[in-house]
């Protein structure tokens, strides 16, 4: 089953494409049908931040993104490469090779997405594959002020339990090099321009699907990272040299007729290590997104994000643009062949940092498409 069929499934029902793309990555593709596949995801987004309690933060921005994804599926060998070129970055997002030990077991090596982030595992980078324009801040990428690693460079093992047309369990574990903290955000290892200083990271996820060919799933995710601190722009963090971060959380994703409900809540334990002391920091972040689609070409959606302890978090103060509280509504129209237009409005806020309390509104428009 190749990526082309995954994209077709994305339209009927609209939210199922990523599951099939996951099958390609997991090795359930039939290599003899079409071993090579090349897909281009494109998007243009206009973003307006307005009505802010801190007017200096108001801005308008337009972003252009092209995401090139290549996959190879042989009888046992698998390969995946993904490169993103956009108005704000050019990066090799994934570069991995895998070996199918058997039909249910795979071992990957390279740079890949963290298995301990639900949204990232489900939708990856393809904007066309997700209905909303924005990602939950809990699931944001490292270079977009995400609070936890999104990429690991190392080894990833995955094992599935079950049989065709029945319930399925899957266990995934990954170990390797995580990000460093530089300036005001995390930076994953760049495989095209590697640098020293990256330390160890580990991920774990356990997922249950009551039906294999369904998006309904739930499970547990956990991660540990030793994050080296190269520099911090935020005042008050002089002398910090690393952050030991542990996360644990539960996710759920339910689909029923015209509805889809998905959410993830994670507990963070951060130990900020200075030259002369250690500082503990704990908080919880989460979100719940609801989607409604009575017709194949229209989807309405909304999301609430929360972070009850984020205002007092020392670690989140290192991420000055991190925004844990957001209430969002949006609509998506799929038209022609694999094109979509989406609009999204949100009320967003942050506690802590400088300034200490910020509230503003967001308005986003996006065109996204996929070509192959």
pLDDT digits (tens, 9 = 90+) for 253-286: 999 989 999 999 999 999 999 998 999 999 999 9
Total count of domains within the chain: 1
**Higher local confidence (pLDDT), 288 or 196:** 288
Give the pLDDT of residue 1: 34
Are the beta carbons of 147 and 268 closer than 8 angstroms?
Answer: yes
What would the mean pLDDT of 336-342 be, rounded to a whole number? 93
**pLDDT at 147 > cutoff 80:** yes
In DSSP terms, 306 is beta-bridged to: 286
Instruction: Write the DSSP assignment of 317-334 as a string of letters.
Output: HTSTT---EEEEEEEEEE
Domain hosting 165: range is 3-371
pLDDT for the residue numbered 33: 65
Residue whose token pair is 């005001």:
184
Sign (positive or negative) of CA dihedral 23, 27, 30, 32: positive
> Mean pLDDT, to the nearest integer, of 328-350?
93
Q: Which of 348, 363, 365 is CA-nearest to residue 54? A: 348
Asked if residue 318 has a cis previous peptide bond (ω within 30° of 0), the answer is: no
> For the whole model, what pTM was predicted?
0.87
- Whether the pLDDT of residue 53 is over 60: the answer is yes
> Residue 199: what pLDDT?
96
Which helix (H) or strand (E) segment holds residue 4: the answer is: helix 3-10
Q: What is the largest CA-CA distance in the chain?
A: 61
Q: Are strands 77-86 and 90-102 parallel, antiparallel or unpaired?
A: antiparallel
| pLDDT at position 211 | 86
Q: What is the pLDDT, as a whole number, of residue 19?
A: 37
Contact 158, 166 (CB under 8 A): no
Q: Is the pLDDT of residue 357 over 80?
A: no
63-72: average pLDDT: 96
Nearest 5°: phi and psi at 242?
-165, 160
21 or 120, which is more confident: 120
Write the pLDDT tens digit of every residue in 299-316: 999 999 998 877 788 999
Query: For 12-31, what is each residue's pLDDT tens digit?
Result: 333 333 333 443 444 433 33
Q: Which residues of 216-248 are buried (b: 16+ CB within 10 A; e: fewer)?
A: bbbbebbbbbbbbbeebeeeebeebebbbbbbb
Cβ–Cβ contacts within 10 Å for residue 45, how many?
A: 21
Radius of gyration of the chain (CA): 20
Q: What tokens does 206 get?
A: 């356990």
Q: What is the CATH number of the domain that holds 263?
A: 2.40.160.10
| Inter-residue contact 138 to 150 (CB < 8 Å) | no
pLDDT at 164: 63
Question: What three-state secondary structure class fits 237?
Answer: coil
> Beta-strand (E) ranges in the chain?
36-50, 59-73, 77-86, 90-102, 105-113, 151-162, 168-177, 180-183, 185-187, 200-209, 217-232, 240-256, 259-274, 278-295, 298-306, 325-335, 339-351, 357-371
Backbone angles phi, psi at 88, to 5 degrees: -130, 0
């Amino acid at each position: 089953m190749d990526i082309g069929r995954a994209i077709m499934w994305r339209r009927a029902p609209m939210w199922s494409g990523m599951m099939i793309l996951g099958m390609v990555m997991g090795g359930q593709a039939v290599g003899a049908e079409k071993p090579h596949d090349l897909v281009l995801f494109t998007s243009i987004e206009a973003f307006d931040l307005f009505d802010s309690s801190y007017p200096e933060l108001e801005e308008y921005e337009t972003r252009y993104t092209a995401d090139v994804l290549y996959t190879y599926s042989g009888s046992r060998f698998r390969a995946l490469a993904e490169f993103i070129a956009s108005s704000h970055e050019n990066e090799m997002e994934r570069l991995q090779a895998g070996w199918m030990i058997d039909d249910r077991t795979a071992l990957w090596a390279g740079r890949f997405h963290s298995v301990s982030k639900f949204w990232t595992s489900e939708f990856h980078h393809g904007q066309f594959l997700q209905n909303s324009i924005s990602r939950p801040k809990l699931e944001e990428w490292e270079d977009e002020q995400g609070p936890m690693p999104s990429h690991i460079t190392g080894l990833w093992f995955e094992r599935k339990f079950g049989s065709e047309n029945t319930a399925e369990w899957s266990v995934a574990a990954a170990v390797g090099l995580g990000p460093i903290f530089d300036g005001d955000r995390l930076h994953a290892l760049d495989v095209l321009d590697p640098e020293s200083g990256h330390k160890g990271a580990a991920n774990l996820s356990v997922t249950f699907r009551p039906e294999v060919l369904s998006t309904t799933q739930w499970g547990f995710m956990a991660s540990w990272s030793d994050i080296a601190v190269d520099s911090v722009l935020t005042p008050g963090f002089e002398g910090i040299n690393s952050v030991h971060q542990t996360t644990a959380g539960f996710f759920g994703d339910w689909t029923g007729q015209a509805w889809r409900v998905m959410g993830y809540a994670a507990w963070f334990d951060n130990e900020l290590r200075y030259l002369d002391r250690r500082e503990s920091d704990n908080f919880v972040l989460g979100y719940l997104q609801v989607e409604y689609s009575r017709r194949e070409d229209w989807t309405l959606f909304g999301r609430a994000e929360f972070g009850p302890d984020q205002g007092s978090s020392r670690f989140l103060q290192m991420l000055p643009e991190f925004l844990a509280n957001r209430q969002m509504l949006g609509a998506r129209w799929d038209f022609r062949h694999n094109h979509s237009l989406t609009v999204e409005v949100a009320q967003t806020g942050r506690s802590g940092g400088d300034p200490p309390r910020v509230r503003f509104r967001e308005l986003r428009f996006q065109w996204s498409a996929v070509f192959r």
